[in-house]
Amino acid sequence: MTTITADLLARYDRPGPRYTSYPTAAEFHEGVGAEAYAERLAAAARHPERPLGLYVHLPFCENRCHYCGCNVVITSRREVARQYLDVLKTEILDVATRLGERRTVRQMHWGGGTPTYLEPAQICELGAALRASFALEHDAEIAVEVDPRVTTAAHLVALRTVGFNRLSLGVQDFTPAVQVAMGRIQSFEATAALVADARRLGFESINVDLIYGLPNQKTATFQHTLEQVLAIRPERVAVYGYAHMPWLKVHQRRIDEAALPTPPERLALVAATAQAFQGAGYLAVGMDHFALPEDDMGRAHEAGTLWRNFMGYTVRHAPDSIGFGMSAISDVEGAYVQNHHKLGRYQEAVRGQLLPAARGYVLSEDDKIRRHVITALMCNGRLDLPAIEDRLGIDFLSYFASAWEALAALEADGLVVRSESALELTDLGAPFVRNAAMAFDAYLEHRLSGGKARFSRTV
């Protein structure tokens, strides 16, 4: 990584969206709910030839990690998951019926929480319910998040029975002092054994999630974690920055802020990560991801076909995606719709034969244009201006005149290069891709103007 100065870090390391969507969830409102969702599903049904993406939210965990930013339900009462599964199957059938003949799935992802909180038989039961309503393409991307601490060989067999071909393992950091501080104790040996089992069962791609910026994290000890992950040699690695926002996530108050790395220390962790994985032959992909060149993600990155949605980076992009479960977000026919965040309200709506949509957002034409540009930049690190003009029917430099002017400061600092035909991030600018994308965000100034930041820091 080209050296980033303290001055550069001070000016650009600020709160900003991760752009899993544009506009971001901060713009969602209750004016878009069940009625709007029903209308969008009906519109989606008129295009049976178009494939779908599916996301299933399984929120349960037995214990909450201190750093967690997910919408989870902490319980040891297994009957709660049993009840949720029954409601989830009802929602799946209702939405599938509304979609008519549009049932082909190109991408499916189960997230949480901990999906393997479910018993193996329950995993098969949920998989059967989904397959009864939807048809997975033969080369569909079918991924699931698992916690190695609770995932057994029987869970892996059940997941393969359902058809999962990609496994994402939470690791974060193997350093004991860090694990104690974040409330998550997990050995390297157990993690490596789970990966070995998964490969024997035929999982095509293994992803490992790491987090930098955790309490007690030091560059030297994190480098040891990186070496351990490289010993496993997963096909993909995601390395996220810890977002410390105790005003939004009360449980994060358990973390000693004095133990958190300083911004320069966080940057050193980022540099060590890039050096380790790129030095081992991985490609830097999109934002905070690395992939082996022979993996589908690596090939998609090289071909410029990588895309990004609420499920993260995808190599099998579908025009619409449907979210099932509490807090799940659907992106369908030009609208985002999110289910109720609270377990009780979600289950009450579904049991009352209602779509459990609580809030959402309908995109304008300007939103759609900006979404395409921001997503392309977040995926590829560059914008091909003539290609965008042909696709969107705009004069890029006229339409984005103010954004183009704002990018002049980033260019002066060596983060981007602008020309009549392209915008490209430099090696120095790669860690600041979110800052470049923020220039195209029409809502950002308003969202950052008051109160506590709703977004994590960009580095």
Work out whether strand 382-384 and strand 422-425 pair parallel, antiparallel, or are unpaired. antiparallel
Distances (CA, A) of 230 to 11, 81, 121, 148, 313: 33, 35, 33, 17, 21
Residue 354 domain-assigned (yes or no): no
**pLDDT of amino acid 137:** 96
Q: Verify that 151 and 230 share a domain, yes or no.
A: yes
Which secondary-structure segment (H or E) carries 119?
A: none
Low-confidence ranges of the chain (pLDDT < 70): 1-2, 449-454
Tell me how many helices (H) and strands (E) the chain has.
17, 19
Instruction: Examine the domain organization and report whether 183 and 273 are in the same domain.
Output: yes
Give how many domains the chain has, as a whole number.
Answer: 2
Asked if residue 456 belongs to a domain, the reply is yes
Structural domain range at position 454? 364-459
Q: What pLDDT was estimated at residue 449?
A: 67
Q: Does the residue 10 lie in any domain?
A: no
* Residue 334 resides in a domain: no
339 forms beta bridges with 357
Q: Which residue reads 């057994």 in tokens?
A: 152
Q: Is the pTM of this model over 0.85?
A: yes
114, 240: one domain = yes
Q: Please state, in angstroms and as integers, the Cα–Cα distance from residue 395 to each residue in 198, 225, 369, 378, following that order.
A: 49, 47, 12, 21
Say yes or no: 108 and 246 in one domain: yes
Residues 258 and 197 in one domain: yes
Statement to judge: residues 236 and 168 lie in one domain: yes
Asked if 265 and 400 sit in the same domain, the reply is no
Backbone CA torsion sign across 43, 45, 46, 50: positive
pLDDT of residue 253: 86
Q: Looking at the domain assignment, is residue 12 inside a domain?
A: no
The domain that holds 454 is classified in CATH as: 1.10.10.920
| pLDDT for position 2 | 59
In terms of domains, do 235 and 298 share one? yes
Residue 122 DSSP SS3: helix
Residue 393's pLDDT is: 97
3-class SS at 13?
A: coil
Name the residue type at position 137: E
Contact between 309 and 291 under an 8 Å Cβ cutoff? The reply is no
Domain boundary among 321, 345, 377: 321
Spatial separation of the C-alpha atoms in residues 137 and 231, rounded to whole Å: 33
Please report whether residue 328 resides in a domain: no
Phi, psi of 322 (to 5 degrees): -115, 130
- State the pLDDT at residue 318: 93
Angstrom distances, CA of residue 23 to CA of 225, 230, 425, 442: 35, 36, 22, 9
Tell me what pLDDT residue 6 has.
Answer: 81
Q: Are 112 and 197 within one domain?
A: yes
Q: pLDDT value at position 96? A: 98
| Same domain for 160 and 57 | yes
Q: In this predicted structure, what is the pLDDT of residue 450?
A: 58
Q: Tokens representing 84?
A: 């949720």
Cβ neighbours of 273 (radius 10 Å): 24
Question: Is residue 147 situated within a structural domain?
Answer: yes
Residue 11 within a domain:
no
Q: Which of 291, 321, 351 is the last residue of a domain?
A: 321
- Whether residues 309 and 372 share a domain: the answer is no
Query: 224: part of which helix (H) or strand (E)?
Result: helix 219-232
If asked whether residues 165 and 86 sit together in one domain, one would say yes
Residue 451's pLDDT is 52
Q: What is the CATH number of the domain that holds 285?
A: 3.80.30.20
Cis peptide before 113 (omega within 30 of 0): yes
Given 321, 355, 389, which residue is the final one in a domain?
321
